[in-house]
Amino acid sequence: MLVVELLFAWMLVIAFLAFIACTFEDLESDVGSQSNPNSQVQLAAQVGQVHRFFNKAISGEPLSNAMYCTVAGTTAWILLQKLEPIVPDAKWKAAVVAIPLGVAVAAMIHIIFSITAHCGRTAGQKRFEQPIYLDVLYGHLLPIATHGFMTTFCITSIAYIQSNLGTLAGDPRLNHPFALPLLAFIWGITVGAIGSSTGDIHYGTEREFQDRPFGEGKRVVYHGKITRYAECGVRTQKDIVGFCAKFGGPCTGLTFGLIILFENYRTLIGMELARFLPVLPADLPFVPDVHFATAAGNMSAVWGIVVGLFIIAALLVGNMVFVRWVRKKYGPFVGA
């Protein structure tokens, strides 16, 4: 028997997990200087500023996060295949063991790739006299792995919940058609993309360049300055994580969490409005079929899109009002 309240409850759990995941994703990319900040770290040595930063150039954030999450999802799937037959009555027990173990494997792979990226990039910059500082190498691995663990754990949990959503809410026919590793892959790409696009803006740059006028573009002269000094002593990325954990990380998490929340919300509301939800069609197949479509099912898609458009319109108006308020408060851009 399908319980609609349970569906909404699991949707909120997924949104909450997404919030945590993207918060830690942003902080993890700050520990390791991935994506956009990485170009500053890469450039610093080339403009003559030998630094003590970790150069985690695995790839862009979306791809590398997709990798950790997919490894975690695949390992969890392998373990679930073996463990679920042992406890057929309470499959959640298998998940409780399988997901953390899978994520641990992903964390190990994360460390392996981080080491190769840092060592490889530093060796590739020999002529700029950038040495490999072993304390920098070892000291950053654990923060990288733990932050990555949190992200990957949340994403794998989301993928598990989604691929069993119907079973958890009372009707297995509402399970997600995609398998666990595939969902982990998709969510990994998404969390990396949001972490890269929103999180990079709130990297340590705004602290570094606080003495510049608001809105000034960063000139090439300042490139690499980000690797110099913190409030006390030589700056490392651990300072940046501490700084970003106050605003940048939660802000990024909020972005991703809201995206997940609105997306799931509009789908479920659409299904409710089209009267598809409380009682599913009796002949709805277990494996989704392209040729199976009911009037209620089509209407739920239409209602979902309409609700989505309303949400977009509300966000647009809210953003415009907010930006106008900010411009008024902080004055016009200079130097543009």
Interacting residue ranges for another protein, rule: CB under 8 A: 39, 48-52, 57-60, 63, 66-67, 70-71, 73-75, 77-78, 81-82, 109, 112-113, 115-117, 119-136, 178-185, 227-228, 234
Contact 195, 79 (CB under 8 A): no
Contact 97, 14 (CB under 8 A): no
* Three-state DSSP class for residue 171: coil
CB of 25 to another protein, least distance (A): 16
CB of 215 to another protein, least distance (A): 25
Contact 273, 300 (CB under 8 A): yes
* Residue closer to another protein (CB basis): 110 or 202: 110
* Residue closer to another protein (CB basis): 42 or 300: 42
CB of 108 to another protein, least distance (A): 10
* Residue closer to another protein (CB basis): 59 or 146: 59
Residue-by-residue DSSP string for 196-235: IIIIGGGSTHHHHTTTSPTTPPPPGGGTTGGGSB-SSSB-
- Two tokens, residue 139: 């000291």
* Three-state DSSP class for residue 6: helix
* Residue closer to another protein (CB basis): 125 or 294: 125
> Exposed, middle or buried: residue 38 (CB in 10 Å: 0-12, 13-18, 19+)?
buried
- Two tokens, residue 88: 């057929």
* Residue closer to another protein (CB basis): 76 or 307: 76
* Three-state DSSP class for residue 191: helix
CB of 34 to another protein, least distance (A): 11
* Residue closer to another protein (CB basis): 55 or 300: 55
CB of 21 to another protein, least distance (A): 17
- Location of structure tokens 């000139």: 219
Which among 249, 113, 90 is positioned nearest to 164, based on CA atoms?
90
| CA dihedral of residues 260, 265, 266, 270 (deg, nearest 10) | 150
CB of 77 to another protein, least distance (A): 7
Amino acid at the residue 317: V
* Residue closer to another protein (CB basis): 6 or 78: 78
CB of 288 to another protein, least distance (A): 12
Separation CA 93–CA 96 (nearest Å)? 5
Determine phi and psi for 60, rounding to 5 degrees: -65, 165
CB of 122 to another protein, least distance (A): 5
Amino acid at the residue 315: L
* Residue closer to another protein (CB basis): 165 or 268: 165
* Residue closer to another protein (CB basis): 87 or 279: 87
User: How distant is the alpha carbon of residue 32 from its chain centre?
Assistant: 15
Contact 176, 14 (CB under 8 A): no
CB of 105 to another protein, least distance (A): 8
